[in-house]
């Protein structure tokens, strides 16, 4: 494991992360000065992550940290204690030094949002090129790992929020099977699609953190026993990014895949139709109403927001900051919806599950793993246009189905990292990790001393 001390992590954060630093990465939203003491107080604190400084995304409750989801509406609202995620990290010996910045409300507030921005933490910069996006919504987790502030961090994913920052920041991201990691104390979007996961510099580090999050130490031994050469891989052309250079790099990576494996062939998996994406959107809007209302009402004290409607009203009252760059139309739709009881929700979720059963499940019945590029290179952040279409076709089918995705660095395009993603059936993390580790080795990137961000500043305007 690429170990650094807590003191080194704090020093690195002070050097490059704050708004008043030269680089101003803004990947860390808050620090806990008592982090070492909190871990020391835990009865079992000598496990897989002993002494490792980590960050948790600021939509995860951890004592000593704010858990604002990036929103001013939750600033100063007390948390209820350690989430299971935080508790498991401390029991494994990890030192939760801080909370990672994120796309506010995990990027579910507006269709025109800019990934990596929150009213509390500001805009996370991509450490490879500071005027480019660090992805969403686990932007701070990905950027902090890439920048060497911490060796690993926790992110969360509903649809793409670990895959995207892993790809754009040149790190490893593991989104596990939905339900394999508890979500108590995690600000929700959708119980059917939300999951915490790990981001780290290497597959081994990401696996170690995931084993802790899943409370499954056997993951390491199970992945080590996988005969990678016998794994059947399906290449999903329908999930290519559309960026010529990224897709060409993927073709180069496939040469290594074919050298490692005996069974590599084209998958017949189709692109996700617009009506399926719209149904997913409908599901997320309605589950947001039910799930976030439940979370906020359980946490609310002394007039704090207790519903999505309360947050909508708060944002309107604080529009000069909260609505400075984009609106809240998804929250407004959620506030007007009737949540999981709505007939349109029930129908949309049923259609979504039927589609993945008839397409993704069929594809995975013919191949153990599906492979594709993840995203195009990081785009320049532009608040006037929001999040562009930049690939990421791999994420939605797996999100709807609750399936795991492992993303690893694939190489550089125009000096910016791009990733390769592996999708498997439920609870196939050990097999995905085994193949990812083999590919990581033959690609030879993350263990190369040259594989690190350059913190390139924007060119001066004329």
**Residue 419 near residue 408, CB atoms below 8 Å:** yes
pLDDT the model gives residue 217: 93
Q: Spot the catalytic one: 161, 180, 290, 428.
A: 161
Region 351-377: mean pLDDT is 98
pLDDT the model gives residue 461: 64
What is the per-residue pLDDT across 11-21, written as a single tens digit (0 to 9) for each?
Answer: 999 999 999 99
* pLDDT, the chain, mean: 96
What is the per-residue pLDDT across 71-90, written as a single tens digit (0 to 9) for each?
Answer: 999 999 999 999 999 999 99
Interacting residues of 60 by C-beta distance below 8 A, sequence separation 6+:
67, 83, 85, 86, 99, 154, 156, 185, 186, 187, 196
Proportion of the chain above pLDDT 90, given as a percent: 94
343 occurs within a structural domain: no
pLDDT the model gives residue 2: 56
Q: How many CB atoms lie within 10 A of CB 75?
A: 12
What is the per-residue pLDDT across 206-254, written as a single tens digit (0 to 9) for each?
Answer: 999 999 999 999 999 999 999 999 999 999 999 999 999 999 999 999 9
Proportion of the chain above pLDDT 70, given as a percent: 99
Q: How many CB atoms lie within 10 A of CB 122?
A: 15
265 occurs within a structural domain: no
Number of structural domains (the chain) is 1
Query: Is 100 in a helix, a strand, or coil?
Result: strand
Sign, CA dihedral 396-399-405-409, equals: positive
pLDDT the model gives residue 129: 98
Which residue intervals of 27-138 are DSSP H helices? 35-40, 84-91
pLDDT band at 459 (very low <50, low <70, confident <90, very high): confident
208 occurs within a structural domain: yes
pLDDT the model gives residue 437: 98
Q: Spot the catalytic one: 27, 57, 115, 337.
A: 57
15 occurs within a structural domain: yes
pLDDT the model gives residue 462: 55
Region 154-176: mean pLDDT is 98
Interacting residues of 288 by C-beta distance below 8 A, sequence separation 6+:
108, 188, 189, 190, 308, 330, 331, 334
Q: Spot the catalytic one: 87, 113, 115, 137.
A: 137
User: Is 161 in the active site?
Assistant: yes
pLDDT band at 449 (very low <50, low <70, confident <90, very high): confident
Q: Look up the CATH number of the domain holding residue 62.
A: 3.90.1300.10
339 occurs within a structural domain: no
pLDDT band at 389 (very low <50, low <70, confident <90, very high): confident
Main-chain dihedrals φ then ψ at residue 154, nearest 5 degrees: -95, 135
User: Is 221 in the active site?
Assistant: no
299 occurs within a structural domain: no
Ranking 106-115, 265-274, 331-340, 381-390 by mean pLDDT, the lowest is: 381-390
What is the per-residue pLDDT across 36-71, written as a single tens digit (0 to 9) for each?
Answer: 999 999 977 669 999 999 999 999 999 999 999 999
pLDDT the model gives residue 53: 98
Query: Residue 51: which domain range?
Result: 6-226+374-443
**Residue 256 near residue 408, CB atoms below 8 Å:** no
438 occurs within a structural domain: yes
User: Is 263 in the active site?
Assistant: no
pLDDT the model gives residue 390: 86
**Residue 219 near residue 92, CB atoms below 8 Å:** no
Choice between 383 and 275, residue whose per-residue pLDDT is larger: 275
pLDDT the model gives residue 3: 80
408 occurs within a structural domain: yes
């Amino acid at each position: 494991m690429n170990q650094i001390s807590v003191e080194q992590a704090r020093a690195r954060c002070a050097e490059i992360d704050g708004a008043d630093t030269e680089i101003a990465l803004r990947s860390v939203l808050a620090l806990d000065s008592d982090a070492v003491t909190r871990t020391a107080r835990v009865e079992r604190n000598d496990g897989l992550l002993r002494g490792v400084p980590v960050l948790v995304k600021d939509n995860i409750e951890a004592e000593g940290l704010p858990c604002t989801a990036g929103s001013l509406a939750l600033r100063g609202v007390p948390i209820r204690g350690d989430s299971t995620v935080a508790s498991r990290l401390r029991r494994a010996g990890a030192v939760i030094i801080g909370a990672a910045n994120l796309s506010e409300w995990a990027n579910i507030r507006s269709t025109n949002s800019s990934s990596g921005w929150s009213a509390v933490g500001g805009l996370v910069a991509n450490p490879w090129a500071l005027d480019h996006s660090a992805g969403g919504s686990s932007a701070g987790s990905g950027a902090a790992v890439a920048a060497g502030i911490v060796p690993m961090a926790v992110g969360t994913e509903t649809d793409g929020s670990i895959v995207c920052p892993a790809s754009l920041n040149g790190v490893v991201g593991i989104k596990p099977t939905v339900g394999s990691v508890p979500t108590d104390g995690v600000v929700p979007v959708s119980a059917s699609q939300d999951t915490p996961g790990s981001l780290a510099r290497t597959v081994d580090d990401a696996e170690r953190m995931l084993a802790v999050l899943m409370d499954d130490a056997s993951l390491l031994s199970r992945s080590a026993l996988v005969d990678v050469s016998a794994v059947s891989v399906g290449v999903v052309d329908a999930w290519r990014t559309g960026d010529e250079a990224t897709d060409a790099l993927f073709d180069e990576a496939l040469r290594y895949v074919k050298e490692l494996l005996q069974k590599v062939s084209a998958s017949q998996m189709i692109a996700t139709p617009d009506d399926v994406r719209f149904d997913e959107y409908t599901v997320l809007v309605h589950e947001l109403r039910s799930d976030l209302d439940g979370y906020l009402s359980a946490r609310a004290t002394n007039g704090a927001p207790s519903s999505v409607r309360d947050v909508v009203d708060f944002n309107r009252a604080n529009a000069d900051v909260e609505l400075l760059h984009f609106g809240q139309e998804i929250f407004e739709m959620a506030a007007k919806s009737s949540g999981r009881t709505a007939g349109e929700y029930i129908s949309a979720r049923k259609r979504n599950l039927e589609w993945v059963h008839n397409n993704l499940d069929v594809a995975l019945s013919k191949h153990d793993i599906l492979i594709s590029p993840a995203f195009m290179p990081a785009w320049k952040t532009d608040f006037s246009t929001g999040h562009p279409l930049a690939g990421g076709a791999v994420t939605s089918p797996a999100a709807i189905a609750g399936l795991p995705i492992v993303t690893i660095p694939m190489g550089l395009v125009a000096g910016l990292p791009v990733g390769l993603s592996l999708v498997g059936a439920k609870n196939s993390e050990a097999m995905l990790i085994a193949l990812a580790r083999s590919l990581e080795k033959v690609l030879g990137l993350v263990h190369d001393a040259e594989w690190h961000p350059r913190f390139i500043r924007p060119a001066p305007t004329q």
